[in-house]
Amino acid sequence: METKPTETSVSKMFEGYNKRYKHFSPTLGCSMTFHIYFPPSPSPSHKFPVLYWLSGLTCTDENFIIKSGAQRAASAEGVALIAPDTSPRGLNVEGEADSWDFGVGAGFYLNATQEKWKNWRMYDYVVKELPKLLSENFPQLDTSRESIFGHSMGGHGALTIYLKNLDKYKSVSAFAPIANPVNCPWGHKAFSNYLGSNKADWEEYDATSLISKCKNVSATILIDQGEDDKFLHDQLLSHKFEAACKSANVPLILRLQPGYDHSFYFIATFIDDHIRHHAKALKL
């Protein structure tokens, strides 16, 4: 099985290129796809800093690339975008596709500890395997300069991965993240199945819980949240994360955007601000 990435599609956009790749993941035990947006290069030897996008429930690696419009600002700022998939696929685990908010398309960017879901190790895939794969196969990427952001479940993933790896990522941001999953229905469903009944294990993948354990978070966290998001009050709980940041003196910009919902229309509206937020950190 080929672990080296194979290019499966390419499209030009804002003078750069969206490229999709397929490879076998030893971490997940299946074939995976991911997208890279390469900005236009000023020289053959130029290396781009890397910005990972983590998508939300039901998404693949394609949704962000097709719908966000992020390539315009990424091209202008000279930042490469990396968009992985959201879960293992094709393993045919019983029940993996029974619901839209668990299993396939819903990996929650954690390492499952329950035997049935042992291949659901999206945390290790995003934090360890994918960066190594990029470093070994794409000399135009500078994987020593990395940042991370995401939406909804992917916002949860970006925040928790950043907070657990402060030495690895230069910055983090999120759109409508699931900010306190130990206290919401999505989190209860995912964590009880993937991690078991021990709530202490759940807290290791909860941004609001992790904030209290973090020391020396110096980079400002940026979050945009639509005020008309139907998931805001029962699933996302951004106010809990805001309170935790305030208590721990962690710098946070939480922007509540009137009239905006949970969709890619919301993401596309504010994506340029997020790209610039990361570009500034990556170029320091």
Q: Where are the domains of the chain?
A: 6-282
The CATH number of the structural domain formed by 6-282 is 3.40.50.1820
* Catalytic positions, written as ranges: 152, 229, 262
- pLDDT tens per residue, range 41-62: 999 999 999 999 999 999 999 9
- pLDDT tens per residue, range 77-124: 999 999 999 999 999 999 999 999 999 999 999 999 999 999 999 999
Given a cut of 90, whether residue 20 has pLDDT beyond it is yes
Burial class (CB in 10 A: 0-12, 13-18, 19+), 234: exposed
- Distances from the Cα of 99 to the Cαs of 57, 58, 139, 200, 263, in angstroms? 11, 10, 40, 26, 20
CA–CA dist 51, 244 (Å, integer): 26
| Type of residue at 268 | A
